[in-house]
Amino acid sequence: MQLTKMYLSVLEREVERTQRALLDVPEGHDEWKPHPKSMEFGRLVGMIASMPSWVALIITEDELDIAPDVPHHAPPPLCTRDELRSALEKAAESARVALSGTTDVFLETSWTLKAHGKAVSVMSRSDMITDTFAHLAHHRGQLTVYLRLLDATVPALYGPSADDPRYT
């Protein structure tokens, strides 16, 4: 199987899981976090909704500095479920377009993650895309903990959830 086809398949599965994770996100808790060192709820759900766009960035750009000397403009917060769903679909579509327009050979070229102008990770675009999907799964898991602590519905993502009637 071609890498591009495999990643398109993974993308569809991960987007569907992400849709389930965002489906019942309670509104009005954007600044809440379970611990002072934890990410704020609103930032977490916004990042999860936009993460599929990272696939497009990895394909269309050669690098990303996550701590540039001149900060990037921060996107507006995504405060409603509709905004989250819309952002996720836009991010997924950008990933689909980028994956459909590239080749396996190109995915083996180098990509660099920087912080403060210094490379912190250099790997193939393919490996970075694989890590991006793992990173998305990690943050969805983090979201399920936040949802439980907020007494919200926790969806079944890779297996049973006490809130999913298929498993109770």
| Annotated binding-site residue numbers for a divalent metal cation | 135, 139
Count of beta carbons in the 10 Å neighbourhood of residue 5? 12
Beta strand spans in the chain (E): 63-65, 110-115, 118-124
- How many whole angstroms separate alpha carbon 149 and alpha carbon 135? 21
- Please state the residue numbers annotated as binding site: 135, 139
Between 81-100 and 53-60, two packed helices, what is the crossing angle to 10 degrees? 30
- How many whole angstroms separate alpha carbon 19 and alpha carbon 24? 9
Tokens 């900060």 found at: 71
- How many whole angstroms separate alpha carbon 33 and alpha carbon 109? 38
Q: Which residues contact 15 (CB under 8 A, 6 or more apart)?
A: 52, 88, 92
